[in-house]
Structure 1
């Protein structure tokens, strides 16, 4: 397929010039492949279609119940790709330029209460197996530093070794979105968990020479092609842990823990700019969503406990 070659070139540009992560590139690839497949059914391609054909696809997706946020993301991918085609003289126009995505409200992120966090840690501490120690270490690091799940599972062993030998202010240096580095301080509990994990880590190294060599440098090695535990596997382990902690598994994901980290810091008076830095957000507007979470929680608190609230029910 001719378009596929240009999609590959676009993804290479995004990686080289904008520092897009592997996950971001994979998402762009899926979005553009979806557009191309939808257009092919009507005898067109992204290289030959007009605005009307794209509008028809958006309308069909809306009728089929595609979430507005998903449609907006797919449209954003297409607009960037069409601009790339135009800049490289592969199209004279940008058929997606005037398209508007579906209206969408900005939902508040799911988060966890302090009691939920306590229940998770109580459950994970009961498992003293090697895999239990690994999950406790991952949970401590994630909640201590608010890492993205990809940043967590791809941590290098050397970085963790430096943490437990630090004389003061133990921290990780994380390379996040856009290839930006940030310093993430760790709690004493997280440092102790890493110290417990490192002596048993080698027990989880794959047996084959090739897979072992690929996994050797990672803190959480795996036999998979990445050499480290996947995001999906870690999410599965969290769901299992939620059940052990008598929590609803649908409420728990790696990103929920990141939300909890930010929300709990702000609850205790942390500066919004500091939380922005810790999370690695390029724009403080992204971080401000957590203040809305606090607003919603305060509103619920008043409705549940105010002495006059019962009179209004």
Structure 2
């Protein structure tokens, strides 16, 4: 029997990323941050305001942010000005500041009746889930950016992580400071994360007059 070469049969399943914007998500701009804060304050969404503010200040990955405990940020009746946690990805500590506005929103959230007896800072709605999931956090981020007219496909949880460090880098050019704030073990990881390129380096160089 003669052998016949038949064309290969290809899987026609739709690509997982069809219609999605993939790649690095944009950081929020300062006016975006303030617009979202105002909307959350007016809506009296205490948890979301505290979560949004701490996401910006802490620069934590979503997996670490959702697992924060009350004791991580609160002691002796006050919200801490600085704190540290062990990162899930690297198993290394990272420190972060908690600004005055963020401390105020966290204190208001902790005082809410919904927080009575909760070990976690962002408790889950169901008994089997002790804290919100990273998927829930991602949905909240999409909701926040959509509320001020931004395209939710261009932003994500890493937008929250990148927002403050991008501003720090633009104002100081200090990559080492950004590396420490993000808890990166390698400088090239920080460079890739910020999207630093030759134009950035030249702009920094041009601002220094010797």
TM range (shorter): 0.7 to 0.9
Task: Give the TM-score normalised by structure 1.
Answer: 0.52
Residue among 92, 117, 123 paired with 1:221: 123
Cα distance change of structure 1 residues 221 and 285 upon mapping to structure 2, 3 Å threshold: same
Cα distance change of structure 1 residues 259 and 291 upon mapping to structure 2, 3 Å threshold: same
| Shift, 1:140, TM fit | 0.5
Are 1:292 and 2:196 counterparts? yes
| Shift, 1:197, TM fit | 0.8
The gaps in structure 2 that reach 5 residues or longer are 1-9, 18-22, 204-210
Q: Going by fraction, where is helix more abundant, 1 or 2?
A: 1
Per-residue CA deviations over 1:230-252 (Å, capped at 9, x if unaligned) read 11111112222222222222222
- Structure 1 window deviating more from structure 2 (274-283 vs 218-227): it is 218-227
Per-residue CA deviations over 1:90-134 (Å, capped at 9, x if unaligned) read xxxxxxxxxxxxxxxxx6552222222222222222211xxx110
Task: Give the TM-score normalised by structure 2.
Answer: 0.75
Q: How many residues align?
A: 184
Per-residue CA deviations over 1:186-211 (Å, capped at 9, x if unaligned) read 111111111111110x4167xxxxxx
Between the aligned partners of 1:164 and 1:276, the Cα distance in structure 2 is 32
Between the aligned partners of 1:192 and 1:174, the Cα distance in structure 2 is 21
In 1, are the aligned partners of 2:25 and 2:156 still within 8 Å (CA)? Answer: no
Write the mapping of 1:1-313 to structure 2, written as runs, cut at 5 A. Answer: 109-128=25-44, 132-162=45-75, 165=78, 170-176=81-87, 177-200=89-112, 202-203=113-114, 216-222=118-124, 223=126, 225-269=128-172, 271-289=174-192, 290=194, 292=196, 295=199
| Shift, 1:269, TM fit | 1.0
Q: Which has the larger radius of gyration?
A: 1
In 2, are the aligned partners of 1:163 and 1:191 still within 8 Å (CA)? Answer: no
In 1, are the aligned partners of 2:28 and 2:163 still within 8 Å (CA)? Answer: yes
Cα distance change of structure 1 residues 251 and 204 upon mapping to structure 2, 3 Å threshold: farther
The gaps in structure 1 that reach 5 residues or longer are 1-59, 68-106, 206-211, 300-313
Q: Which has the higher contact order (CA 8 A, sep 6+)?
A: 2
Cα distance change of structure 1 residues 293 and 261 upon mapping to structure 2, 3 Å threshold: farther
| Shift, 1:151, TM fit | 1.2
Cα distance change of structure 1 residues 66 and 138 upon mapping to structure 2, 3 Å threshold: closer
